[in-house]
Amino acid sequence: MSETPRSKSHVTFRDSIPQASLESILCTEELRRRWRLPDFEKENRGLVALVSALADSPRTILQTLAETILDITQCDSAGLSLLTRDGKTPDVSGKRFYWPAIAGRWSPHVGGGTPRNFGPCGDVLDQNRTLLFKHFERRYPYLLPVVPTAEECLLVPFYVRGNAVGTIWAITHDDRHKFDSEDHRVMESLGKFASSAYQALVSIDDLKFQVAEREKAEAELRGLTNSLEGQVRARTEALVDMTRKLIKAQEQERARIARDLHDDVNQRLALLTIDLEQLRENPYRVRSRLQELKEQITNISKDLHAVAHDLHSSKLEYLGAAAGMKSWCREFAEREKIEIDCRFDMRSTLSTEIGLCLFRVLQQALNNAAKHSGVKHIEVQLREESGEIDLIVRDSGKGFDVEAVKQGKGLGLASMRERVRLVNGTISIESKPMSGTCVHVHVPLDSVHGSERLAV
């Protein structure tokens, strides 16, 4: 991740002797005694903003998250603390926290931080739970120069792949607002999203590094011999063409997500607002309409969850490749009202690259079948035999002309082929009009070396 600029008012924090006990500045139990009604409309609006930032401008996701916390909790300052070793790069083994994004009155302190072994963020990770502090500078005197001082601070841990990487926090600078159980619920929900956002940023940086290494290798190859110049030029042109196609496909997918959010979720929220306005004008109908409004909000939340889940499936990491793919098939079948017959026969573990490749190909194949084949039954096979993996997605629907699609319309198929090529695998797509479609991916189990393994 890129370095966060240090603010002009940056304060150099040093470990110091505590001035008060931890118990004397904690008031976490107050969260249970304070409560207010949830504002689902504002919460959903914040989630839509986060999903849009993650899809359109990933580098701004942490700042968007801080601004979302500020808006939803109505606090005075909000931000994130990430563990680091060098003061600028996230590191799970780091000895300090730094602040890459802050919104509100503490925004001039972006780039600052606190010690890991003596500070509010460290206490949160040590206790593995949300903590509510009151005037924490009484215990941590190095926070005295940070102005305005904090009246209350609500800190929530977030984890990436089971490891604690930091906290998200909200601060009030006077007693006009007291954090309550609803703030706690919202912050925990945003903490889960922070985990996904952090992983997305790390993945982007890893991808940039891989692209840079690939470009470097290609440059070295061009300098080896003039006899290979034609081959290198042809390969470069093919990569440029593939990049254009993939960018176009990415933009089309972003446009689709935007249309889905605008045409479905946004309109439903607008109707929900109208219903609420009508209830305000006619309060005698409140009791009869509450259940209907609750169901509408639940459905909107499920739809937003589906959009976020398709963008990034955490089950692939936590359950492993095979179990994660099978779980996604079940959710997709329920969402699209189709039957998916899954037959998985796996004994080994899959590398991260192979597991992600097979998962994305499965997503594309099932989306194509659900949208275009017209069938209500799809077969999915994932099997291992003699150190090789086969993924087969078959339907008996309308089919299509594969050659015609190759000649300019097959952006989704091109993306599938490129993914399989990157793990040294092969893919065959067999289809004819009115004769169904079969997508067959074949990958050697050891085609990617030295990679992290996903449990099956």
* pLDDT, mean of residues 31-56: 81
When mean pLDDT is compared across 79-83, 321-325, 401-405, 443-447, the lowest value belongs to 401-405
Residue 307: strand pairing partners = none
Concatenating the DSSP letter of every residue in 216-281 gives HHHHHHHHH-GGGHHHHHHHHHHHHHHHHHHHHHHHHHHHHHHHHIIIIIIHHHHHHHHHHHHHHH
CATH of domain 314-454: 3.30.565.10
Topology (CATH) of 22-202: Beta-Lactamase (3.30.450)
- Tokens linked to 445: 């189990």
* pLDDT, mean of residues 196-218: 76
Instruction: pLDDT band for 285, please (50, 70, 90 cuts).
Output: low
- pLDDT tens profile 233-265: 777 777 767 666 665 665 566 566 666 665 666
pLDDT at 49: 80
What is the share, in percent, of the chain residues with pLDDT greater than 70?
A: 71
Phi-psi region of 298 (alpha: psi -120 to 50; beta: other; left: phi over 0): alpha
Tell me: pLDDT of 275 over 50.
yes
Other CB atoms closer than 10 Å to residue 455's CB: what's the count?
14
Phi-psi region of 389 (alpha: psi -120 to 50; beta: other; left: phi over 0): beta
What is the share, in percent, of the chain residues with pLDDT greater than 90?
A: 24
Instruction: pLDDT band for 170, please (50, 70, 90 cuts).
Output: very high
What pTM does this model have? 0.45
- Annotated domain spans of the chain: 22-202, 225-310, 314-454
Q: Which helix (H) or strand (E) holds 4?
A: none
